[in-house]
Protein backbone atom coordinates (compact mmCIF):
# COMPACT_ATOMS: atom_id res chain seq x y z
CA UNK A 1 0.00 0.00 0.00
CA UNK A 2 2.79 2.42 0.89
CA UNK A 3 4.43 1.93 -2.50
CA UNK A 4 1.15 2.99 -4.12
CA UNK A 5 0.97 6.09 -1.91
CA UNK A 6 4.61 6.93 -2.67
CA UNK A 7 3.88 6.66 -6.39
CA UNK A 8 1.27 9.46 -6.22
CA UNK A 9 2.75 12.61 -7.71
CA UNK A 10 2.40 15.70 -5.49
CA UNK A 11 0.38 17.45 -8.20
CA UNK A 12 -2.15 14.59 -8.14
CA UNK A 13 -3.11 15.06 -4.50
CA UNK A 14 -6.62 16.19 -3.65
CA UNK A 15 -8.55 16.09 -0.35
CA UNK A 16 -9.37 12.41 -0.73
CA UNK A 17 -5.77 11.39 -1.42
CA UNK A 18 -4.56 13.55 1.47
CA UNK A 19 -7.03 11.77 3.75
CA UNK A 20 -5.79 8.41 2.45
CA UNK A 21 -2.18 9.44 3.17
CA UNK A 22 -3.06 10.65 6.66
CA UNK A 23 -5.06 7.58 7.64
CA UNK A 24 -2.55 5.14 6.19
CA UNK A 25 0.32 6.98 7.85
CA UNK A 26 -1.43 7.09 11.22
CA UNK A 27 -2.40 3.42 11.20
CA UNK A 28 0.89 2.14 9.83
CA UNK A 29 2.99 4.14 12.31
CA UNK A 30 0.83 3.05 15.24
CA UNK A 31 1.13 -0.57 14.23
CA UNK A 32 4.88 -0.51 13.61
CA UNK A 33 5.72 1.26 16.85
CA UNK A 34 3.29 -0.75 18.97
CA UNK A 35 4.95 -3.94 17.68
CA UNK A 36 8.35 -2.65 18.81
CA UNK A 37 7.07 -1.97 22.36
CA UNK A 38 9.08 1.26 22.52
CA UNK A 39 12.35 -0.70 22.26
CA UNK A 40 13.58 1.29 19.30
CA UNK A 41 17.13 2.56 19.07
CA UNK A 42 18.39 4.61 16.15
CA UNK A 43 21.78 6.25 15.82
CA UNK A 44 20.71 8.72 13.14
CA UNK A 45 17.49 10.68 13.51
CA UNK A 46 17.45 11.42 9.76
CA UNK A 47 17.33 7.64 9.28
CA UNK A 48 14.51 7.52 11.80
CA UNK A 49 12.45 10.14 9.94
CA UNK A 50 12.62 7.91 6.87
CA UNK A 51 11.13 5.04 8.91
CA UNK A 52 7.87 6.88 9.49
CA UNK A 53 5.24 6.04 6.94
CA UNK A 54 4.01 9.17 5.21
CA UNK A 55 5.98 11.71 7.25
CA UNK A 56 8.22 12.82 4.38
CA UNK A 57 5.28 12.91 1.99
CA UNK A 58 3.20 15.06 4.33
CA UNK A 59 6.17 17.31 5.08
CA UNK A 60 6.83 17.93 1.39
CA UNK A 61 3.16 18.50 0.57
CA UNK A 62 2.75 21.25 3.18
CA UNK A 63 5.72 23.29 1.94
CA UNK A 64 5.33 26.48 -0.11
CA UNK A 65 7.11 24.70 -2.99
CA UNK A 66 4.36 22.07 -3.14
CA UNK A 67 2.13 22.17 -6.22
CA UNK A 68 -0.93 21.98 -3.96
CA UNK A 69 -3.30 24.89 -3.49
CA UNK A 70 -2.89 26.85 -0.25
CA UNK A 71 -6.10 25.24 1.01
CA UNK A 72 -4.77 21.71 0.42
CA UNK A 73 -1.40 22.64 1.96
CA UNK A 74 -3.29 23.83 5.02
CA UNK A 75 -5.16 20.52 5.24
CA UNK A 76 -1.87 18.62 5.07
CA UNK A 77 -0.35 20.86 7.77
CA UNK A 78 -3.37 20.26 10.02
CA UNK A 79 -3.17 16.51 9.40
CA UNK A 80 0.55 16.49 10.17
CA UNK A 81 -0.07 18.42 13.40
CA UNK A 82 -2.77 15.92 14.41
CA UNK A 83 -0.36 13.05 13.88
CA UNK A 84 2.39 14.75 15.85
CA UNK A 85 -0.13 15.30 18.62
CA UNK A 86 -1.71 11.84 18.61
CA UNK A 87 1.21 9.52 17.96
CA UNK A 88 3.70 9.23 20.78
CA UNK A 89 6.20 7.59 18.42
CA UNK A 90 7.07 10.98 16.90
CA UNK A 91 9.04 11.80 20.04
CA UNK A 92 11.92 9.92 18.39
CA UNK A 93 12.22 12.56 15.66
CA UNK A 94 11.28 15.78 17.41
CA UNK A 95 14.83 17.20 17.27
CA UNK A 96 15.17 16.40 13.59
CA UNK A 97 11.82 18.01 12.88
CA UNK A 98 12.82 21.10 14.90
CA UNK A 99 16.10 21.39 13.01
CA UNK A 100 14.23 21.04 9.71
CA UNK A 101 11.81 23.78 10.82
CA UNK A 102 14.58 26.22 11.65
CA UNK A 103 16.42 25.42 8.42
CA UNK A 104 13.25 26.36 6.55
CA UNK A 105 12.83 29.57 8.55
CA UNK A 106 16.47 30.49 8.04
CA UNK A 107 16.13 29.97 4.28
CA UNK A 108 12.89 31.96 4.16
CA UNK A 109 10.93 28.96 2.84
CA UNK A 110 7.61 27.81 4.26
CA UNK A 111 8.15 30.05 7.26
CA UNK A 112 4.56 29.96 8.47
CA UNK A 113 4.39 26.16 8.42
CA UNK A 114 7.81 25.84 10.05
CA UNK A 115 6.88 28.22 12.88
CA UNK A 116 3.63 26.36 13.51
CA UNK A 117 5.36 22.98 13.73
CA UNK A 118 8.36 24.25 15.71
CA UNK A 119 6.24 25.97 18.35
CA UNK A 120 3.95 22.96 18.56
CA UNK A 121 6.90 20.61 19.15
CA UNK A 122 8.51 22.92 21.69
CA UNK A 123 5.27 23.47 23.61
CA UNK A 124 3.86 19.94 23.47
CA UNK A 125 6.84 17.61 23.35
CA UNK A 126 9.18 19.33 25.78
CA UNK A 127 6.81 20.90 28.30
CA UNK A 128 6.74 17.92 30.68
CA UNK A 129 10.52 17.49 30.88
CA UNK A 130 12.01 18.82 34.16
CA UNK A 131 14.12 21.97 33.74
CA UNK A 132 17.24 20.31 35.16
CA UNK A 133 17.13 17.52 32.55
CA UNK A 134 19.57 17.74 29.59
CA UNK A 135 16.59 17.55 27.20
CA UNK A 136 14.59 20.29 28.92
CA UNK A 137 12.87 23.01 26.97
CA UNK A 138 15.48 25.55 28.05
CA UNK A 139 18.32 23.27 26.93
CA UNK A 140 16.65 22.79 23.55
CA UNK A 141 16.14 26.56 23.17
CA UNK A 142 19.82 27.15 23.92
CA UNK A 143 20.90 24.46 21.46
CA UNK A 144 18.64 25.82 18.71
CA UNK A 145 19.71 29.40 19.39
CA UNK A 146 23.35 28.33 19.16
CA UNK A 147 22.74 26.64 15.78
CA UNK A 148 20.26 29.03 14.20
CA UNK A 149 20.17 32.23 16.29
CA UNK A 150 16.43 31.67 16.68
CA UNK A 151 15.75 34.97 18.42
CA UNK A 152 17.32 36.86 15.51
CA UNK A 153 15.41 34.65 13.04
CA UNK A 154 12.10 35.41 14.74
CA UNK A 155 12.82 39.14 14.83
CA UNK A 156 13.88 39.10 11.15
CA UNK A 157 10.62 37.38 10.20
CA UNK A 158 8.59 39.93 12.17
CA UNK A 159 10.41 42.76 10.37
CA UNK A 160 9.82 41.09 6.97
CA UNK A 161 6.13 40.63 7.80
CA UNK A 162 5.81 44.25 8.95
CA UNK A 163 7.50 45.50 5.78
CA UNK A 164 5.13 43.44 3.62
CA UNK A 165 2.16 44.95 5.44
CA UNK A 166 3.51 48.46 4.94
CA UNK A 167 4.19 47.75 1.26
CA UNK A 168 0.68 46.32 0.82
CA UNK A 169 -0.82 49.37 2.57
CA UNK A 170 1.11 51.75 0.33
CA UNK A 171 -0.03 49.91 -2.80
CA UNK A 172 -3.63 50.02 -1.62
CA UNK A 173 -3.41 53.74 -0.80
CA UNK A 174 -1.93 54.55 -4.19
CA UNK A 175 -4.74 52.62 -5.87
CA UNK A 176 -7.36 54.13 -3.54
CA UNK A 177 -8.57 50.74 -2.40
- pLDDT tens for 134-175 read 888 899 999 999 999 998 998 998 998 888 889 888 888 888
Quick check: 21 pLDDT over 90?
yes
What is the spatial distance between Cα 6 and Cα 133, in angstroms, rounded to a whole number? 39
Q: Which residues contact 170 (CB under 8 A, 6 or more apart)?
A: none
3-state secondary structure of 127: coil
Residue 176 has pLDDT above 90, yes or no: no
Instruction: Output the pLDDT for position 46.
Output: 56
The pTM of this model reads 0.80
The most confident of 32-46, 107-121, 127-141, by mean pLDDT:
107-121
- Confidence category of residue 116, pLDDT binned at 50, 70, 90: very high
Give the residue among 12, 19, 96 at the shortest CA–CA distance from 50.
Answer: 96
- Contact (CB, 8 A) for 45 and 92: yes
Nearest residue to 121 (alpha-carbon basis) of 132, 109, 108, 135 = 135
Sketch the domain layout of the chain as residue ranges.
Answer: 2-151
Q: For residue 34, what is the enclosing H or E element?
A: helix 15-35
Beta-carbon contacts of 81 under 8 Å, excluding residues fewer than 6 positions away, are 116, 117, 120
What is the pLDDT at residue 79? 94
Q: Residue 35: its pLDDT value, please?
A: 66
The tens digit of pLDDT for each residue in 59-112 reads 999 999 999 999 999 999 999 999 888 777 777 788 889 999 999 999 999 999
For position 112, what pLDDT does the model report? 93
Amino acid sequence: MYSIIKSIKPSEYNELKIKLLKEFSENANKKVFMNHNNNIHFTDSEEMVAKFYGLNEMWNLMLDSSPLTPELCSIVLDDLMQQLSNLNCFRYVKKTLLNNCFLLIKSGNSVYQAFIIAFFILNRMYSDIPQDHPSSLMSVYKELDGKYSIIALIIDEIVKYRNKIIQFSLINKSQNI
